[in-house]
Amino acid sequence: MKVHIYRDKAQAGQASALLLAAKIIENPDCVLGMATGSTPLPTYESLVELYNQGIIDFGRVRTFNLDEYVGISRSHEQSYFRFMFDNLFSKINIKPENVAVPNPVSANLQDDCLSYDAAIKAAGGIDIQVLGIGNNGHIAFNEPGRTFTFATHIVELTENTIEANKRFFSSIDDVPKRAITMGIGSIMQAKEIVMIATGEAKAEAVKAMIDGQIDPQCPASILQLHPAVTVFLDEGAAALLSR
């Protein structure tokens, strides 16, 4: 893992966007793995800026999102589909047919999980995957547990995650309890990974991810086995690392 520590989240976002932009310049047909949540917002803002400056072009880029809540419509303010359009896709020239976010209201979620992984494979795999980390060490919605789950699957969200995400909903009862998520294998098959973590609330999870043992209790710790991970931190998220 290459670990870079920046002054604040804006700088970490800018730096991670530069790495993604370099990949897009190098390969205009690249396949990006996208994350939602508050962490990648500065990254997406910087990507939009680079696009507006004419430095990067999304005309041939394809994307796959990591995860989506189950049971809320795509137009719901908190759906990850809507998040991606509001914060990135509507601001760049990506083609709507080139973006994939798991379907939250599918009649057959199990089949959708299989076809999501098949679609990633058919696209040639993910060239570079953006990740955030939950304060419990989750990546995508792979929650701490006894084992790592390989493929895209349906997950029951932990109380910790429901609690952390309630800030986006009017009440905790409105937070969906299930999600569809890329599995650890789907993530580990990405050719390259950009992990972004900012804020002191992430410091413990970041320490476990980088300095801890590889353990499904901290799903992000599996990234120690990936050959090409670049971690972008701010001072807060890096606070507990032995340097």
Annotated catalytic residue 165: no
Examine the residue annotation and report whether 143 is marked as an active-site residue of this protein. yes
Q: Of 65, 67, 192, 234, which is the active-site residue?
A: 67
The residues, ordered by sequence, that sit 6+ positions from 67 with a Cβ below 8 Å of its Cβ are 36, 80, 102, 140, 141, 179, 180, 181, 182
Rg of the chain over Cα atoms, rounded to whole angstroms, equals 17
Helix then strand then coil, in percent of the chain rounded to 5, is 40, 20, 40
Q: Which is nearer to ligand F6R, 35 or 70 (CB)?
A: 35
Cα–chain center distance at 18: 17
CB 64 within 8 A of CB 190: no
The residue from 135, 138, 142, 192 that is catalytic is 138
> Which residues contact ligand F6R by CB under 6 A?
35-39, 66-67, 132-134, 138-140
* Beta strand residue intervals within the chain, DSSP E: 2-6, 31-34, 62-65, 67-69, 99-100, 128-131, 153-156, 178-181, 192-197, 229-234
From the candidates 65, 136, 142, 165, which is the catalytic residue? Answer: 136
* Position closest to ligand F6R via CB: 132
Min dist. Cβ of residue 195 to ligand F6R (A): 9
The stretches of 149-202 forming alpha helices (DSSP H) are: 159-165, 184-188
CB of 53 to ligand F6R, least distance (A): 26
Considering beta carbons, is residue 30 or 136 the nearer one to ligand F6R? 136
Least Å distance, CB 207 to ligand F6R, is 16
156 catalytically annotated: no
Quick check: is 67 catalytic? yes
Closest distance between ligand F6R and the C-beta of residue 165, in Å? Answer: 7
Of the candidates 68, 117, 143, 192, the residue annotated as catalytic is 143
Q: Which residues contact 47 (CB under 8 A, 6 or more apart)?
A: 17, 20, 21, 56, 88, 92
Q: Which of residues 1 and 57 has its CB atom nearest to ligand F6R in the complex? A: 1
Q: Which is nearer to ligand F6R, 50 or 182 (CB)?
A: 182
Active site residues: 67, 136, 138, 143
